[in-house]
Amino acid sequence: MNYVHHAVIGVGTASLGVAAAELLGAPLAVPAAVAFGAVTVILGSIAVDIDHPKSYISNTIPTRVIRLAIAGLSLPALVAVGVYLTTRDLQGAWTQFTAAVFGVAILRWMAVAMGAALALMGLSWVLCRSLHHRGPLHSLVFTAGVTLVACLACWGVGLYWWWGLWFGWGWLWHILADGLTEAGVPLLWPFRDQRLHVLPRWGRRIGQVLLSLAAILGIVGLITLRLHSFID
């Protein structure tokens, strides 16, 4: 399964839960909350594969961020090079560059984003070398730990703590979906290192199809409920 499948499954299963709650009488969630929740679930769904250096979260996204940052920082860099070629003053050229970067908000954030992207790529490489792909990060214990950290992070930045549960929801359904593949996942790590499966061999392919259909049904159902409430 690729990152698109995992994102759809995460959002779809969450949508099923939200739609079921609303059908049972729960108040309708505001569109902004639904959108923010979907983004949070997607982040949790794709973040699991940070233990693979070529995954979407640890390669594609950082690479694009770095390219955009380089494009944005190229102008002050060229100006600094021009200053150096004109004055032969390396320190002055560096001062010119840093003043431009840290003096302009968008350039400053580009530099920060570039640093974060490089750090993410480095972290992915370390995790792959030490824990390997589909290792401990694909376990129930690690899912619980990540969910707790996400809840604490949300609380720490002033958000409702339970937004972290949506991140954990995406993480959980990622490993459950991977548990339907032939390779399996170490669900019971650190108690058992053996890779396990959610269903027996004969039911895995059927399980993948049913899970995908349920996810699509959840997304379509929630959108239908929203349109119905809007029309009413």
Q: What is the pLDDT of residues 127-184, one digit of tens each?
A: 999 999 999 999 999 999 999 999 999 999 998 999 999 999 999 999 999 999 999 9
Name residues whose C-beta falls within 8 Å of residue 15's C-beta, 6 or more positions apart in sequence: 38, 215, 218, 219, 221, 222
Answer yes or no: is pLDDT of 231 > 70: no
Q: What is the pLDDT of residues 74-105, one digit of tens each?
A: 877 777 777 667 777 777 777 767 777 777 77
In the chain, the amino acid numbered 134 is: R
User: Does residue 93 contact residue 81 with C-beta atoms inside 8 Å?
Assistant: yes
Cα-flanking dihedrals φ and ψ of residue 31, to 5°? -55, -40
Q: What is the pLDDT of residues 180-202, one digit of tens each?
A: 999 999 999 999 989 999 999 98
Domain boundaries along the sequence of the chain: 1-52+133-232, 53-131
Cα-flanking dihedrals φ and ψ of residue 102, to 5°? -80, -10
User: Does residue 182 contact residue 204 with C-beta atoms inside 8 Å?
Assistant: yes
What is the pTM (predicted TM-score) of this model? 0.88
End-to-end CA separation in angstroms for the chain: 39
Q: Is 26 helix (H, G, I), strand (E, B) or coil?
A: coil
pLDDT at res. 207: 93
My answer on whether omega of the bond before 190 falls inside 30° of 0, hence cis, is yes
Helices (H), the chain: 3-23, 31-47, 61-87, 90-103, 105-130, 140-156, 163-178, 201-231
User: Does residue 49 contact residue 58 with C-beta atoms inside 8 Å?
Assistant: yes
At 49, list the tokens. 């594969």
pLDDT at res. 232: 58
Measured CA to CA, the distance from residue 172 to residue 13 in angstroms comes to 11
